[in-house]
Chains A and B, each alone.
Chain A
Amino acid sequence: MPKLFVLIAAVVLAASCTSVEPWERERLSHDCMQVPVDADQARTEAKTEATREGAAGGIQRTGGGCGCN
């Protein structure tokens, strides 16, 4: 999987040689362009998913213990 990550990152880099100037970044700087838009809400969603699904953790990792096995 790490090799695949590097490969996809390289493809994204190669496909995006356009230069975006600072004055063109109005939309990019909006809160809603951030990932996640709301980190606290994302944490809550990740916690719910971790208690019900087997593929949780990773990027959406939450603190240990949920009491809801």
Chain B
Amino acid sequence: MQLSASSAGTLLLTALALAAVCVAACFDRATTTASYQHHQDDTGRISTPEVRSTVDNEELQLNTRWSADVISGATPVAAAPDAYSRASEFEQTRHEAQVGANWQQSAEQQWAGGVTASHEPDYDALALSTAVSRDILDRHATVIVGADAGFDHVGRVDDPLFSRSLWTVGVAVEFSHIINPQLVAHLGWDFETRSGFQSNPYRWVPVYDGSHRPALMLHEQHPHRRVRNAMEPMVVWAPHHELFVHMGYRFYADDWGVRGHTGQLRLFHADDSDRYRTGVRLRGYTQNDARFYRERYDDVQTLRTGDPRLSRMYSLTAGGRLELRPELFDRHRPRLSLNYDATLYRYANYPVRSSMLAHSWGLNLTMEWK
């Protein structure tokens, strides 16, 4: 007996619906969130619709997520006299899907794992992650050890033969300790190694011969390998039963010579009735330039870049967040949140621009079913 395509589709949909009902019946609670984020700066715009859902019971939580980045901006045109200012408009969509699970093995120990895959016309990525969390010292401290691995395939829309790969392996350790009934100290350390193609396949680097016009345009060429380390101490303090303060510092270092320092302060106010929450954040970031970064290349270098992320720069971010939890329904309490961030970037030795202002805002709606 042969099935027609429509019959097979109907069967598949029925099986999926049955599976969803069976899965939902096994769990005590489900949440679904729909969100929309928008980011805009001098280089372009990114709009990101996203849907997330979670089902959980006392032992197990399953979560799924899908998002799309709709990117519109400008990319340099090959062989243009000034590749930075001559650019072509483009629009591209990147899809990302994630499935994950958390398992509460015992009162003290929890496991987590997940798979994330993304696709866009010139870039595919797959990442696996796992972590174990354990409460120690009579539940006064928590240690989390995590590991992840990723494989990326880099292509180029104007060249079907262009194909490069990138492997990423990372390990993270986090340690939290309760200092007193209002204060918790956190410390995180992260190590990551990347091997493979790490340049931008569309970016060209001008090489000058002493005049103001470039004599040569060469493809960007970054090192094949990058080893990254980051350490982040942080304290979380509740000076009042409605006020919470998160204060942290992050130090980053890699073998390309980049050193980054980030300071961040977040304040949250949670109303006693839990009908609304507000939050503000201030963030300052500074980094030096990579060892092979030059403001201007006057001769041909093996390693060359035009990436502003490898230049000497700093940024300042200020933002806010409002979350409303109206009591509209007894069992399905919705949560609506709005967030806005403004970031000022200043570049010390990036020839294309000396500063840039970016705006990010978002809207989230979460529904809960018990």
Contacts and interface: CB of A to CB of B under 8 A. Distances in A.
Interface of A: 1-2, 4-5, 8-9, 12-13, 15-16, 18-20, 24-28, 30-33, 35, 37-38, 40-41, 44-45, 48-49, 52-55, 57-59, 61, 63-69
Contact of B187 (A8, A28, A33, A40): A8
A9 B290 contact: no
A58 B94 contact: no
A1 B231 contact: yes
Interface stretch (B20-28, B166-174, B210-218): B166-174
A32 B262 CA distance: 21
Given A20-B180, A61-B192, A65-B152, A55 B287 contact: yes
Given A13-B177, A33-B238, A64 B152 contact: yes
Majority secondary structure, B binding face = strand
11 contacts: A5-B231, A8-B233, A44-B360, A48-B341, A53-B287, A55-B258, A57-B230, A58-B228, A58-B252, A63-B116, A69-B203
Nearest to B129: A61
A8 to B, nearest CB: 6
Contacts of A54: 258, 260, 287, 290, 307, 309-310, 313
B52 A40 contact: yes
A63 B126 CA distance: 8
B315 A40 contact: no
B103 to A, nearest CB: 17
Nearest to B256: A54
B363 to A, nearest CB: 12
A21 to B, nearest CB: 9
Nearest to A9: B175
B185 A12 contact: yes
B123 interface: yes
A16 B179 contact: yes
B258 A12 contact: no
B138 interface: yes
Nearest to A50: B309
A55 B73 contact: no
Nearest to A13: B177
Contact of B172 (A24, A25, A35, A58): A58
